[in-house]
Amino acid sequence: MRRLKETWVLHGTRVAVEGDAIEIERLLKDELEEVSVTDGGWRTLLRSRADGRFWELSYPQSHMHGGGPRTLAELGIPSVADWT
Boundaries of domain holding 40: 3-82
* Statement: the pTM of the whole predicted model exceeds 0.95: no
Mind giving me the DSSP string for the chain?
--EEEEEEEEETTEEEEEETHHHHHHIIIIIEEEEEEEGGGTEEEEEETTT--EEEEE-TTTTSGGG-S-EEEEE--SSGGG--
| Domain count within the chain | 1
Q: Work out the percent of the chain whose per-residue pLDDT is above 90.
A: 81
What are 11-43's pLDDT values in tens digits? 999 989 999 999 999 999 999 999 999 988 889
pLDDT at 63 over 90: no
